[in-house]
Amino acid sequence: MADNDFMATGYLTKIKAEMEERLGCKIVFVEDRDSSYPCKIEYARNYARQHHVLRVNPARCINAYPIFFLLLNTKLQIQKTDAGGLGLLQPVSNADEHARFNADFKADPVGRKLIATLGSGADAIVMKLCASLITQACNQVLEMLAADVVLRDYPDAVEDMKRYLASSAVEGAAVPYQELRQTYPAFIVKANRILNLMFAMRCGEICGKKLIDAYKPTSDDVDKALDLYNFYLAERDLLKTEGRIVGDVLENILYKLKVARYVHLEVREIAPEPESAQDVADDGLTDEQRESLKKFRENFGDGKSDYELMVLGMFKVLREVSKMPLEAVRAIAIEIAMLGTNGISPNKTYNLKTMPNRKDIMGLEVLAYYYVTWAKVFPDKLDMIGLPYKKAYDSAVAMMESFSGDNSSKSTMGGGVIHRITCLKAA
């Protein structure tokens, strides 16, 4: 897919130019019909590139607005880091915050029943539900803030935005609320319900329709949603008049929903300053690793390197986990899943408690462990982790079955993922 296919849309042209200036390097559109998302960004810093890549699946984009919205959403979240670079505001849960969510989950009778029913798979589901609730709260607030920006600064995007918002709001109405109340803890379902109704109120105002009626809300539902909506409007107005940042609005909404006890916001670095866009000295790689990665990508290209390196990495992991007891593999899978809720950068290094003999494991290798361990212990839930590595995994399994080489060969893995956890209605 060529850039020109999208550049015909004026509002997308405008925001692409704005974001390239803000980020300090080009944004290149790449067609990716295998992607499960309409579009996603791969930041240059995480892939040893000199440009950002925005992957687009045209089959999932009815027009240019989803691509535009992704860039606008990014624009809202970009902040300066303490080190002076650029970072993306992200919700993050640490061990204590996860523990609070687990305690509240177990305190709920439906939650206890769900844990007993799921058995060994309970940990993964509980973590996903926590991340889903947090993601929904942040994303719906950001969508409403973005709508105000569109109405003010991008008039030619308004009609496409209205169709997008109306579709999103009506989709939320399809959530089987009564069924959810029997399936998930009350505090999760209530927050989900209030967020969906608040979002429908705002979308209805913008679109000139009473979208909230599709939810068949009770008067109590409406009162709670209206209270949150009025709180949001007050926060939004303070954002405009007092020079506050988007993070202030998000944090206060999370407190209002009583979700802040499970999460905090951090600015995660995504790009260096524009004048040093090619400087990757602090990317977590040694000089030797950086040079090897650079040469590999120059020789084989970004797309091929991601696939080939991940195949090699998964092959290595398959050989290792085949010698481990299942409980050890499960422990690794759970720990990396918790790490994954905060995002895993392919070119950073990590230390895992479940692998104490391994220090400073490359994020590339952690992603390979993530997919392989889940494939081994949670095969029926593999789609939940959102990693697009099925083809690489199948190739690694085939290699494992046919290859009988020694254990001395080294493999360097590449690739990456923007790890997105869907909202509750898709969980």
Considering just the CA atoms, what is the radius of gyration of the chain in Å?
Answer: 22
Residues 367 and 302 in one domain: yes
Backbone phi and psi for residue 55, each to the nearest 5 degrees, phi listed first: -85, 135
Of the residues 29, 57, 77, which one is the last residue of a structural domain?
77
What token pair was written down for 412? Answer: 């360097």
pLDDT of residue 172: 78
In the block, tokens 């050890």 appear at 328
Does residue 421 sit within a domain? Answer: no
DSSP one-letter string for 137-206: HHHHHHHHHHHHHHHHH-GGGHHHHHHHHHHHHHHHHTS-HHHHHHHS-HHHHHHHHHHHHHHHHHHHHH
pLDDT of residue 144: 94
Going from the C-alpha of 408 to that of each of 52, 315, 316, 404, 411, the distances in angstroms are 35, 13, 10, 12, 10
Cα atoms in the Cβ-side hemisphere of radius 13 Å centred on 303: 7
pLDDT of residue 382: 79
Going from the C-alpha of 350 to that of each of 9, 20, 190, 338, 344, the distances in angstroms are 41, 30, 36, 13, 9
Does residue 423 sit within a domain? Answer: no
Q: Burial of 35 by CB count in 10 Å (0-12 exposed, 13-18 middle, 19+ buried)?
A: middle
Residue 94, helix vs strand vs coil = coil
Does residue 225 sit within a domain? Answer: yes
Residues 53 and 194 in one domain: no
Residues 93 and 68 in one domain: no
Residues 234 and 295 in one domain: no
pLDDT of residue 415: 26
In the block, tokens 């993601």 appear at 135
Residues 121 and 256 in one domain: yes
Does residue 355 sit within a domain? Answer: yes
pLDDT of residue 217: 92
Beta-bridge mates of residue 350:
361
pLDDT of residue 285: 46
pLDDT of residue 62: 75
Strands 349-350 and 39-42: unpaired
For the chain, residues with pLDDT lower than 50 are 1-4, 272-285, 289, 292-293, 296-305, 403-427
Of the residues 21, 56, 77, which one is the last residue of a structural domain?
77
CB 238 within 8 A of CB 244: yes
Residues 248 and 316 in one domain: no
pLDDT of residue 254: 94
Range of the domain at 102: 88-271
CB 325 within 8 A of CB 83: no
Residues 50 and 153 in one domain: no
Residues 168 and 259 in one domain: yes
Tens-place pLDDT, residues 206-232: 999 888 988 999 999 999 999 999 999
Residue 52, helix vs strand vs coil = strand
CB 162 within 8 A of CB 206: yes
Going from the C-alpha of 5 to that of each of 9, 26, 29, 56, 220, the distances in angstroms are 9, 17, 10, 11, 48
CB 406 within 8 A of CB 421: no
Q: Nearest 10 degrees: CA dihedral of 7, 10, 16, 19? A: 170
Does residue 282 sit within a domain? Answer: no
At position 397, the amino acid (one-letter code) is V
Residues 110 and 233 in one domain: yes
Residues 237 and 264 in one domain: yes
Backbone phi and psi for residue 229, each to the nearest 5 degrees, phi listed first: -65, -45
Of the residues 53, 77, 101, which one is the last residue of a structural domain?
77
What token pair was written down for 366? Answer: 């952690």
Does residue 83 sit within a domain? Answer: no
The count of domains in the chain is 3
Residues 118 and 256 in one domain: yes
Does residue 425 sit within a domain? Answer: no
Tens-place pLDDT, residues 230-289: 999 999 998 877 667 898 999 999 999 999 999 999 888 775 444 333 333 334 445 654
Residues 201 and 301 in one domain: no
